[in-house]
């Protein structure tokens, strides 16, 4: 069954500390994975996707097929990174249906 | 350019009442989606519409119906609301395949 697991409900770090938000997936095939972010009082929005191999706002995520993981990382957290982060897996087929994880709330302390 | 617009933003219903959540997008997207967001459960897909005139069930469709009125609009109807449907509802849209989802601002629904 297709599934996305985010084991941490809350991750609290201090400003300037490294951040790693964990995401593991279950998918038989070649996965397409995304990170979405929801800042306070803002809409849910795409942060990055693995096929782009991009860095957005200092965040990166590498797909590790051996460990079935797509962890989100940032070397130095900023207070403005505080938000809810969702890992998402695209279902197979021609639509953009996404399976979301349960989300991790990142709190960056000053 | 408004993007994805949802109405209402807040709603309180009594058990058994019905209501329709409205969603419209002005980006000429083919695909539209309804998700619900619950604490500890993330976002779960209720229904989606790959294109005008088509709708399909998602993960949690029971108790809901949808209408893809035209390319712009995709409404979600609760025929007989239940407390278990208390949630935050998000509408989203996208272009076909490999495109990101654009989300509305959400509707906070409480069923008493």
Q: What percent of chain B has pLDDT over 90?
A: 85
What's the pLDDT at A84? 96
The alpha-carbon gap from A101 to the nearest alpha carbon of chain B, in Å, equals 6
| Contact indicator for A89, A4 with CB cutoff of 8 Å | yes
- Please tell me the distance from the alpha carbon of residue B89 to that of residue B43, in angstroms, as a whole number: 9
- Please tell me the distance from the alpha carbon of residue B52 to that of residue A90, in angstroms, as a whole number: 21
Provide mean pLDDT across the span A59-76: 94
pLDDT at B96 over 80: no
pLDDT at B60 over 80: yes
- Please tell me the distance from the alpha carbon of residue A58 to that of residue A68, in angstroms, as a whole number: 23
What's the pLDDT at B1? 63
What's the pLDDT at B97? 65
The alpha-carbon gap from B56 to the nearest alpha carbon of chain A, in Å, equals 11
- Please tell me the distance from the alpha carbon of residue B90 to that of residue B98, in angstroms, as a whole number: 20
* Chain B residue with Cα closest to A88: B43
Per residue in A14-64, pLDDT tens?
A: 999 999 999 999 988 888 899 999 999 899 999 998 877 788 899 999 899
Interface mutation target, options B54, B60, B94, B101, chain A, most CBs of A under 10 Å: B101
pLDDT at B76 over 80: yes
What's the pLDDT at B56? 93
What's the pLDDT at A94? 67
- Please tell me the distance from the alpha carbon of residue A27 to that of residue A35, in angstroms, as a whole number: 16
């Amino acid at each position: 069954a297709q599934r996305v697991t985010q084991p941490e409900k809350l991750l609290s770090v201090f400003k300037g500390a490294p951040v790693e938000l964990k995401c593991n997936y279950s998918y038989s095939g070649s996965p397409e994975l995304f990170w979405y972010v929801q800042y306070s009082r803002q809409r849910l929005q795409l942060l990055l996707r693995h096929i782009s191999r991009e860095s957005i706002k200092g965040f990166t995520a590498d797909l590790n097929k051996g460990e079935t993981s797509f962890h989100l990382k940032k070397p130095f957290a900023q207070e403005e990174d505080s938000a809810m982060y969702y890992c998402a897996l695209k279902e197979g087929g021609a639509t953009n249906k996404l399976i979301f994880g349960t989300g991790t709330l990142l709190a960056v302390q000053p | 350019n408004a993007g994805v617009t949802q109405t209402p933003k807040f709603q309180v219903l009594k058990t058994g009442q019905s209501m329709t959540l409205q969603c419209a997008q002005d980006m000429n997207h083919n695909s539209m989606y309804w998700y619900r967001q619950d604490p500890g459960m993330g976002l779960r897909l209720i229904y989606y519409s790959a294109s005008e005139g088509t709708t399909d069930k998602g993960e949690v469709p029971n108790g809901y119906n949808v209408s893809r009125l035209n390319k712009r609009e995709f409404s979600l109807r609760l025929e007989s609301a239940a407390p278990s449907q208390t949630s935050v509802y998000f509408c989203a849209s996208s272009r076909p395949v490999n495109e990101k989802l654009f989300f509305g601002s959400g509707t906070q629904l409480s069923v008493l």
